[in-house]
């Protein structure tokens, strides 16, 4: 009966149910999961809201539900606002971005950010494949200064 009721709702109404179910302090992840598995769309803003206010396990679960395009939007939003770093890092480390344009878009955004963002990512990202397409060349930073890793080698 509940499924039939839910199936009769339009996309906007289903999205609203997800948002309400995810509201603190009683974020009901079981209900959120059921809603999404039964056709409710999850937009990037709601995913970020859930992922940043909850535990690491919920960060992971929320990120699984997003498409590659939405994961790119999440990463770009995190880079531009310098926010939700744990969620951003998890997405970078655990998503196989299959589309070359997704990798290029994220790599370009990292290069356009300030030196501190690239340095933070170079310290946090451990996946070697992600490092190759995501980070600026390790031998030299954008500002022409040797990267932290390179400076450590020189010492």
pLDDT digits (tens, 9 = 90+) for 83-119: 788 888 888 998 889 999 999 999 999 988 776 788 8
Write the DSSP string, 19-60: HHHT-SSS--HHHHHHHHHTT----HHHHHHHHHHS-HHHHH
Q: Is the predicted pLDDT of residue 148 greater than 60, yes or no?
A: no
């Amino acid at each position: 009966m509940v499924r039939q009721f839910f199936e009769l709702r339009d996309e906007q109404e289903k999205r609203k149910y997800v948002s309400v179910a995810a509201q603190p302090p009683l974020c009901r992840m079981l209900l959120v999961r059921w809603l999404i598995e039964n056709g409710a769309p999850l937009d990037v803003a709601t995913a970020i809201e859930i992922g940043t206010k909850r535990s690491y396990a919920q960060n992971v679960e929320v990120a699984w539900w997003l498409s590659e395009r939405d994961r790119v939007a999440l990463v770009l939003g995190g880079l531009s606002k310098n926010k939700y770093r744990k969620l951003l890092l998890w997405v970078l480390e655990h998503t196989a971005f299959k589309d070359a344009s997704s990798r290029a878009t994220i790599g370009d955004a990292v290069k356009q950010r300030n030196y501190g963002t690239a340095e933070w990512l170079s310290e946090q990202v451990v996946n070697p494949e992600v490092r190759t397409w995501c980070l600026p060349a390790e031998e030299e930073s954008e500002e022409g200064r040797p990267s932290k890793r390179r400076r450590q080698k020189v010492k």
